[in-house]
Amino acid sequence: MPKINVYLPDELAEAVKKAGVPVSAVCQRALEQAVQRVTAIRETALAAPDVDRLTARFTHFTPRAREVIKLSVEQARASGAAEVGTEHLLGGMLAEGGNLALQVLGALEIEPAEVRRRLDHLGAQSPTPPEDGDAELTFGASAAAALELTVTEATALGHNYVGCEHLLLGLITEPDGAAGQILRGLGAEQRLTRRAVSAALAGYVHLRAQTQAAAPPPALPAGAAEALSAAVREELRPILRRLERLEEHLGPADGA
């Protein structure tokens, strides 16, 4: 049987040893689930995205995440695009309007309205594709890669579902797509956003425990959303202070 090395942080490795966790069995199960999800993504990316069948294909995606994908396909078709791109996935996320990813962006002080403006500017610059009613619309290479990274992010966080917050991380991590370029340009750095997602989910779990809710992350009430954003900003404040001190230490760039 082939052997794959798994590297763990020292603290986690020690905790695993003390708890007697069956590492091989756990890793096999996690990898099996990840392979199934990534395979489903690849099969969908290679075929025409059938909006009515996306729910069946993306079984581990939350209802909101599936809705985002449906909206992204519809936006690509409406714009006459030759393929579904990462910009359509990001546009679908904005159009859905009630997902946790938007709360994370708000905590990072990135306004959805500004993201929308940049997407619209990108669309205005894109050449109009030739009309071809018989052409099959598929996910582009960057969009398919972003969806695969979405599954990877969910697996890395130990989650048994794939939500819009994971899609946000997938879009940021994917290097070539327009969505990642827009988000990174607005300050959504990969590690910072991943920490913001973790903080947001921790805040959501706390809120859900208080309200006895049992569903996957839904749209939060206005007051709860503000409280969650404040909690995430508090979590990120030490990181931002360290970055500011580092910038002060380095000083202004030459010629600035």
pTM: 0.67
Task: Give the model confidence (pLDDT) of 144-190 as tens digits.
Answer: 899 989 988 998 888 889 999 999 999 999 999 999 999 999 999 98
Nearest to 107 by CA among 219, 194, 206, 215: 194
Lowest mean pLDDT of 54-58, 107-111, 247-251, name the range. Answer: 247-251
pLDDT band at 17 (very low <50, low <70, confident <90, very high): confident
Check residues 26 and 19 and name the one with the higher pLDDT.
19
Determine the pLDDT at residue 255. Answer: 42
Determine the pLDDT at residue 256. Answer: 42
Instruction: Answer whether residue 30 is part of any domain.
Output: yes
Q: 62 and 162 in contact (C-beta within 8 Å)?
A: yes
Nearest to 231 by CA among 216, 220, 242: 220
Instruction: Answer whether residue 7 is part of any domain.
Output: no
Task: Give the model confidence (pLDDT) of 178-217 as tens digits.
Answer: 999 999 999 999 889 998 888 888 766 555 555 554 455 5
**Which CATH number characterizes residue 216's domain?**
1.10.1780.10
Instruction: Answer whether residue 2 is part of any domain.
Output: no
Instruction: Answer whether residue 73 is part of any domain.
Output: yes
Instruction: Answer whether residue 15 is part of any domain.
Output: no
Instruction: Answer whether residue 58 is part of any domain.
Output: yes
Instruction: Answer whether residue 145 is part of any domain.
Output: yes
E strand segments, the chain: 83-84, 138-139
Token pair in block for residue 184: 């990174």
Instruction: Answer whether residue 243 is part of any domain.
Output: yes
- Mean pLDDT value across the chain: 76
Q: Which domain holds residue 53?
A: 22-126+135-250
Q: Is the predicted pLDDT of residue 111 greater than 90, yes or no?
A: yes
Tally of structural domains, the chain: 1
